[in-house]
Structure 1
Amino acid sequence: MLRGYWSRKLVLLALVAVSAWSHADTLSEVRERGEFRLGHRESSSPFSYINDKGEAVGYSVDICLKVFDLVKSELKRSDLRLRLVALKPADRIAAVKDGRVDVECGSTTNTVTRQKDVAFSYTTFMAGARLLAKKSSNLKDLTDLRGKTIVVTEKTTTETVIKQLNTERNLGMKIVLAKDHAEGFAKMESGEAAAVANDDALLFGLVGKSKDPTAYDFVGKYVSVEPYGIMYRKDDPAFEKLIDNAIAGLFSNGQIRTIYAKWFESGAFKLPMNQYMKENLKLPNKYGVQ
């Protein structure tokens, strides 16, 4: 009996050890498969989206390409392949957890709840959620939306915030969910919804690509502050260190400002860097919101 007990005990400990070792060792997995999997979004302009040429581009994608460069250097694999994987808001966290992607490069807010399932890089962007509507609707404040239809992207922090505001302020708004940001904007644009709720930078991107950017305006003030980060699997210290080094390097050498200017301060679409973001560059952090 004793011998059988210890045999089972040793087998169990061995299984636990193997599980712990294999839980998250991204660099070893990347080396073995010869491929780095970059998860991107399809309509989160200007962070991560598909352009007119069918390419995955954006602010977050550019940052993740710097991570990819460092992975190649760390593994001494100049021949390492890059695989781009399109993700939806509803499946992005699961894709990171189950290893379908090595990093998720989109417009994902770092929250305390999400930290239970995935890890986040240093904050790469500070956004704020707002409401947007047509100027012709003459909506000036959140209270003007009482009883009206609001559209928000599903499985986002903005969805949670809008639902809370609706309940707390007894606004009686009808909240419609969109599968992605482009669909949400389209529902407002077509008149299916009076306003769309999303992060300010994402709304700027959608307005900039619309037929008449002058036809829209924000409704009221910010309803939340959103720190964006690159997602990757938890409990992977080697990969975490590499990502930290890649992003901290972008901050310290000033390349992040070049990337920012490329996506937010050129052409018709301009969004000056806010004070929160400037402070974040000086003191990189991974603070998550509730």
Structure 2
Amino acid sequence: MYKLPRTLFALTAFALIGASASAASVRDDICTKGVFNAGVKYDSPPFGFVDENGDVGGFDVDLIKEIGKDLSAVCKKPIKVVLKQVTSSNRIEFVQNGTIDIAAATATATFGRMDTVDFSNTYFIDGQRLLVPAGSPIKTVRDLAGKRVGTAQGSTSEVNLKAAAPKANVISLQQYTDAFTALQQGRVDAVSTDSTILLGLKASAPDPTKFAIVGPFFSNEPYGMIMKQNDSKWRNFVNETLTRTADDGTYRKIFAKWFGPKTKYALPDPKRSEAIPPQFPVRR
């Protein structure tokens, strides 16, 4: 039988140990550190935003807190949830470089993005529309030729808009709130992104009646939480939390809190937009 040279054997063993160490799950790192760093948006009400008291809240934030609750249970010690601001353009980078453990930031799961990161199960479904001044002649995406349309840099909205309205002048800004400010100041003729984000922007205006969300959906936007690739232990844990919230009614309560009929973000047809996470068996 051929035997590996002693030096080669030692190097091989060292490489295997190193590979094992580098493969440690994000979930285990969180348990060790006692800190869960989560990326959320500060400019996308009602998913993630800063309220009048300076606190960060929203639909995505509440789901992150549920993950934090389950982490405390499995780690058998209190886990501190630290919210960090992300944008459409940096949320994937922040996950990849370890700045955050997860991004819950209105991120559409696409095959292109899955080449570099993994996504949780879909937890919300939306579609792209237009936000315009009330009375605007812009009614659908077909009316955008020659018009200035604001959106967020690095978003699927930016890509969808350029494909659906190739003759529009697409102006990509850092955040959706920047695009809405440009609309209020007359620097753009419309803002385009997912309908629920537009709903939040409109509701934030001093007089929401001065703006209208128009046109049919021209994209499909299934939201997933972004995580590092090839960490099934962490991804499965997050998916189990999403399923647990569906099983015990927590998801419906969070949905009603932000999108219910008595809220300022009320959806015209909640049944269409309520995307209960898939019902896989929960092991906890």
CA distance in 1 between counterparts of 2:124 and 2:191 reads 21
Give, in whole Å, the separation in 1 of the partners of 2:10 and 2:106.
Answer: 45
Q: Aligned runs of 1:151-170 on 2, under 5 Å?
A: 151-167=150-166
2:252 is aligned to: 257
> Any idea what SS the aligned residue of 1:106 has?
coil
Q: How many residues align?
A: 278
**Matches of 2:162 and 2:208, distance apart in 1:** 28
Query: What amino acid is the match of 1:268?
Result: K
- Alignment check: 8 A CA contact 1:24 1:233 kept: no
Distance 2:143 2:35 in 1: 51
- Residue equivalent to 2:55: 55
3-state secondary structure, aligned to 1:269: coil
- In 1, Cα distance between equivalents of 2:114 and 2:147: 34
Percent identity between the two aligned chains? 24
Corresponding residue for 1:112?
A: 111
3-state SS of 1:53 partner: coil
Decide whether aligned partners of structure 1 residues 17 and 164 sit closer, same or farther in structure 2, where only a CA change above 3 A counts: farther
More strand by share: 1
- Cα distance change of structure 1 residues 12 and 136 upon mapping to structure 2, 3 Å threshold: farther
CA separation in 1, counterparts of 2:110 and 2:13? Answer: 33
Q: Which has the higher contact order (CA 8 A, sep 6+)?
A: 1
Q: Aligned to 2:265, which of 269, 280, 290?
A: 269
Distance in 2 (alpha carbons) for counterparts of 1:56 and 1:282: 24
Whole-angstrom CA distance in 1 between matches of 2:268 and 2:242: 20
Please tell me the residue identity of whatever aligns with 1:271. L
The unaligned stretches of length 5 or more in structure 1 are 286-290
Q: Is the 8 A contact 1:208 1:269 kept in 2?
A: yes
- Higher helix share goes to which structure? 1
Q: Which moved more, 1:32-41 or 1:255-264?
A: 32-41
Q: Which stretch of structure 1 is more off in the superposition, 227-236 or 124-133?
A: 227-236
Shift of 1:4: 9.1
Equivalent-residue separation in structure 2 for 1:136 and 1:277 (angstroms): 26
Residue 188 of structure 1 deviates from its aligned partner by 1.3
Inter-CA distance 283–74: structure 2 relative to 1 (3 Å threshold): closer
1:236 aligns with 2:235: no
Could you tell me how far apart the structure 2 residues matched to 1:208 and 1:228 are?
22
Question: For residue 176 of structure 1, what is the aligned residue in structure 2?
Answer: 171
**Residue among 216, 219, 228 paired with 1:221:** 216
**Aligned-pair CA distance for 1:16:** 5.5
**CA deviation map 1:132-162 (0-9, x unaligned):** 1112322222232211111111100010011
The 2-side partners of 1:282 and 1:68 are apart by 18
Matched residue, 1:288? none
Aligned-residue Cα RMSD (Å) equals 2.2
CA contact (8 A) 2:51 2:57 kept: yes
Name the SS of the counterpart of 1:36 in structure 2: strand
- Alignment-mate amino acid for residue 70 of structure 2: L
1:190 is the counterpart of 2:177: no
Structure 1 position 32, deviation (Å): 2.3
Q: Does the 8 Å CA contact 1:43/1:182 hold for their aligned counterparts?
A: yes
Segments of structure 2 that go 5 or more residues without pairing to the other structure are: none
**Aligned letter for 1:239?**
W
* Residue 199 (structure 1) shift: 0.5
Distance 1:276 1:6, change over 3 A: farther
TM-score, scaled to structure 1: 0.88
Measured at CA, do residues 77 and 142 of structure 1 come closer, stay the same or move farther in structure 2, by a change above 3 Å?
same
Change (3 A) 1:189 1:276: same
Asked if 1:208 corresponds to 2:203, the answer is yes
Aligned pair 1:42/2:42, yes or no? yes
Matching residue's letter, 1:25: S
What displacement does 1:271 show? 1.0
| Equivalent AA in structure 2 for residue 128 of structure 1 | G
Q: CA deviation at 1:111?
A: 0.9
Which SS does the other structure have where 1:28 is aligned?
Answer: helix
Tell me the secondary structure at the aligned position of residue 270 of structure 1.
coil
Superposition deviation, residue 206 in structure 1: 0.7
